Structure 1
Amino acid sequence: MHLSRTRRPGAASALALALLTTALAGCQGGGATSSPGSTEPSTSAGSRAHVLAVKIDNVGPARPQTGLDKADIIYVEQVEAGLSRILAAYSSRLPPVVGPVRSARETDLELLSQFDRPTLAFSGAQTKLLPAIAAAPLDPLPPEKAPDAYFRSSDRAAPHNLYLRPGRTPHATTGVNAAEDIGLRFAPAPPGGRPVADRTVRYPAARFTFTWSAEQRQWLVSMDGAPARTPEGAGLGAADVVVQYVTVRPSLYQDRWGSTSPYTETVGSGSAVVLRDGKEYDVRWSRPAAGSTTAFTTRGGKRMTFARGPVWIVFAQK
C-alpha cells in the first residue's frame, strides 16, 4: 500500500483459539427495541456504547452506500484482490437503512473485541470462519437470524443489493458515541501539526483521498478518484481521519474463488497519522491485547485529541 499527500505552501490461529476459549456462547435475543430513524446521542454518564457494526460493500456497483454518514467510526480494510471493504460502527445514532451489507472477515473479530459485545451485521462468511464468529465476544446477526431486518433492493444486482434496517433488529443502542467508548477523546487540537491539503491511501486495487474543506470544516472523502456521496447526493465527510500503519498478511481463510483473504493485525503497536482541522499529526498507536482498546498518543506522549464527528480509521500496510 502506498500513501501520498499534498501540502499547502509553507496472529490468526492464536486469535481463533483465544476467541474459542474466552468468548461467551450464544447471542442476544428479544424483540426490536430501537426505532427506525436516527437516534440522537445520549449525554447520560456511566453507560457503555452498544455498538452495531455493519460490514459494508465498497466496490463500484455498491456505491453510493446508505447510512455511512451516520456512523461513529468507519474502518477501512483490505480484502481479496486488493480491494477494500468497510466496517461501520453505529452507537450514538442509528440510520433507518444501512448497506449494501457484505460478508465478514477474520480481521473483524479481533477489531471488534475492543467493544463491549457488539452486534455484527453481515451477509455471511466463509464456512470455516463461521465457528470463530460464533465463538467471538459479539452477537452475530446474519440475515437468517433476523430475516425481517434485511431486504434486497430492486435497483441493484446481487450481491450488491442487500440492506439492513437497524430498527428491526434485536440491537438496542445506548446512544453513547462508539469512538468515545473506546477511549478517543473529543477535545481541542494538540499543539503542532503540519498544514496539509489532502491525503491519499492506496490499496492494490482501491484508493481513498481525504481533502480538507475549510468551508465545511471536514475532510471530504473520495473513493477511487470519485467523490463519495450519500444516495441523496450529499458529500461524505470525516471530522478526523486516522491512517493506521499495520501488518497485513494472509489469513487462514479463502473466499469462494480460492483467493486467500488478507488479515489485518490490529493488536500491537506502530505509527499512524491523524488528520484533523486541516493539519496532520504524527502519532503512535498501541493495543496490547485483543481485549484492549487502541490508544493514540502524540510524539510527546500525550493522548491525541479528536474533533467531534465521524472518525475514519484506514488501515494501511506499514
Structure 2
Amino acid sequence: MGTRTRTRRTTVAAVAAATALALAPGCTLSDTGGGDGKLPGGEGRVLAVKIDNVGPARPQTGLDAADVVYAEQVEAGLSRLMAVYAERLPPVIGPVRSARETDLELLRQFDDPALAFSGAQSKLLPLISAAPLRPLPPGKAPGAAYFRGSGKPAPHNLFVRPKALGADPDASGLESTGFRFGPRPEGGTPERERTVRFPAARFTFTWAAEQKRWLVSMDGRQARTSDGKTLGASTVVVQYVKMRPSRFHDRSGNNTPFTETVGSGTARVLRDGRAYAARWERTLPQDGTEFTTADDGKPLPFAKGQVWVVYAKA
C-alpha cells in the first residue's frame, strides 16, 4: 500500500481560491458546511467523524469500530479525535464536534472521504467547500442522521447515525494512506507503556500482552466506550510534526493550531509490545504517509487492527 498520487475532483487552484476567501480569524460557528449542493449518500470510500474528547464528552460511542483514530491538538492545548471508518460502521458515533483546518489537509490522503462534523467557523466554510471531501454536517444531512442524546450536556451530546448519512465506506478506502500491515519486523525495543502529552491533555498506551493490543488511557483514566468496551489499539503511532498558529480562534480567543501532516519527520511506532524508531514522509497533500525504519529505511508494517495516530509537537 505505497504512496500514490491521485486525481481529485477539486483542483489545487480551487483550494487556493477558497483560501484567499478566508478572511481574518473569527469565532462564529455554523451548522452548515460545504457548498456543493449534493444530497448525501453513496459516496465516500471512508467516513471520517470529528469526535469530542474533553471530560464531559466521555465515554464516546462507536470509537472502538474505527479503523484509524487520529488525536489532534486544538485550542487551549486540548485534544480532539478524528475517527476514520472503512471496514464497518457502528449504529451510532459521537459526540460529534466541529471541523478544523488541519482536518482538510489530513484527509487528502484518503480517496473520496466523507466528513461528519457538527459545524465550523464561518470563515473556514469556504475551505471546507473547496476541499476534496464530502462534507456532511447537520445542515446537509437527512433529518434522522443527527440527534441530541440525553446523557451528556450540550454541546457534548450530538451524535450521528452513519447509515442515515448514506455513507457507504469500503476497506479499500484505506489503501491510499500509505500504511502497510504485516508481520512484526525485526528490531525494536520492549516497551510496556508510553505517554504523549499535550499542554492540556495526555494519552497513555499500555501494552496488554494477553489482549495483544495497547490499552488507551486519556487524561489519566482508562478509555472505554459508552457500552463499557475498553479502547485499545493494535498499533500506536506517535508522529512528531510541526505545529503553527492558524488564522482561526475559538470563542474565547484561543488560537487554533495547524498541524502540518505534509512533510517528513520522526515517529515512534508501537506494536506487539515493542517500540520502533521510525521516520515518516508525505511529499504532497494527495500522497499517503509512509513509515520506514529509522536505521535502514525499510517499510515499517503495522499490526492488523485499529491504528491510533497521535500528533505530537516536534
Q: Report TM bin, short chain.
A: 0.7 to 0.9
User: Which runs of structure 2 are paired with 1:218-229 in the superposition (5 Å)?
Assistant: 218-229=213-224
**2:114 pairs with one of 111, 119, 133:** 119
Range with greater deviation from structure 2 (19-28 or 307-316): 19-28
Structure 2 counterpart of 1:89? 84
User: Which runs of structure 2 are paired with 1:154-169 in the superposition (5 Å)?
Assistant: 154-169=150-165
Please state whether the residue corresponding to 2:60 is helix, strand or coil: coil
User: Which runs of structure 2 are paired with 1:1-318 in the superposition (5 Å)?
Assistant: 19-20=15-16, 26=36, 28-29=38-39, 32=41, 50-146=45-141, 147-176=143-172, 178=174, 180-299=175-294, 300-318=296-314
Please state whether the residue corresponding to 1:176 is helix, strand or coil: helix
Question: What is the deviation of 1:19?
Answer: 2.1
Contact (CA 8 Å) 1:72, 1:177: kept in 2 or not? no
Q: Provide the C-alpha distance between the structure 1 equivalents of 2:71 and 2:170, rounded to a whole number of angstroms.
A: 24
- Going from structure 1 to structure 2, the CA distance change for 1:16 and 1:55 (only over 3 Å counts) comes to farther
- Going from structure 1 to structure 2, the CA distance change for 1:27 and 1:279 (only over 3 Å counts) comes to farther
Contact (CA 8 Å) 1:27, 1:140: kept in 2 or not? no
Identify unmatched segments of 5+ residues in structure 2: 1-10, 20-33
- Going from structure 1 to structure 2, the CA distance change for 1:16 and 1:129 (only over 3 Å counts) comes to farther
Question: What is the deviation of 1:33?
Answer: 5.5
Identify unmatched segments of 5+ residues in structure 1: 1-14, 35-48
CA distances 1:264-315 after superposition (whole Å, capped 9, x unpaired): 0000000000000000000100001111111000121111001100000000
CA RMSD, aligned part only?
A: 2.1
Q: Provide the C-alpha distance between the structure 2 equivalents of 1:269 and 1:181, rounded to a whole number of angstroms.
A: 17
Residue identity in the other structure for 1:295: E
Q: Provide the C-alpha distance between the structure 2 equivalents of 1:176 and 1:291, rounded to a whole number of angstroms.
A: 16
Please state whether the residue corresponding to 1:185 is helix, strand or coil: coil
Q: Provide the C-alpha distance between the structure 2 equivalents of 1:68 and 1:174, rounded to a whole number of angstroms.
A: 17
Contact (CA 8 Å) 2:18, 2:127: kept in 1 or not? no
CA distances 1:158-211 after superposition (whole Å, capped 9, x unpaired): 000000100101221224362x44221211011100001100000000000000
Q: Provide the C-alpha distance between the structure 2 equivalents of 1:63 and 1:73, rounded to a whole number of angstroms.
A: 19
Q: Provide the C-alpha distance between the structure 2 equivalents of 1:261 and 1:184, rounded to a whole number of angstroms.
A: 28
Q: Provide the C-alpha distance between the structure 2 equivalents of 1:127 and 1:17, rounded to a whole number of angstroms.
A: 21
Contact (CA 8 Å) 2:50, 2:81: kept in 1 or not? yes
CA distances 1:201-254 after superposition (whole Å, capped 9, x unpaired): 000000000000001100000000000001121210000000000011110111
Contact (CA 8 Å) 1:74, 1:86: kept in 2 or not? yes
- Going from structure 1 to structure 2, the CA distance change for 1:313 and 1:248 (only over 3 Å counts) comes to same
Residue identity in the other structure for 1:107: T
Query: Percent identity over the alignment?
Result: 60
Question: What is the deviation of 1:21?
Answer: 5.3
Q: Provide the C-alpha distance between the structure 2 equivalents of 1:305 and 1:27, rounded to a whole number of angstroms.
A: 40
Please state whether the residue corresponding to 2:123 is helix, strand or coil: helix
Residue identity in the other structure for 1:160: H
Contact (CA 8 Å) 1:28, 1:139: kept in 2 or not? no
TM-score (norm 2): 0.87
CA distances 1:14-34 after superposition (whole Å, capped 9, x unpaired): x9966245999726535x569
Size of the alignment, in residue pairs? 288
Residue identity in the other structure for 2:249: Q
TM-score (norm 1): 0.86
Q: Provide the C-alpha distance between the structure 2 equivalents of 1:22 and 1:73, rounded to a whole number of angstroms.
A: 28
Residue identity in the other structure for 2:148: R
Q: Provide the C-alpha distance between the structure 2 equivalents of 1:163 and 1:82, rounded to a whole number of angstroms.
A: 24
CA distances 1:51-73 after superposition (whole Å, capped 9, x unpaired): 10000000000000001100010
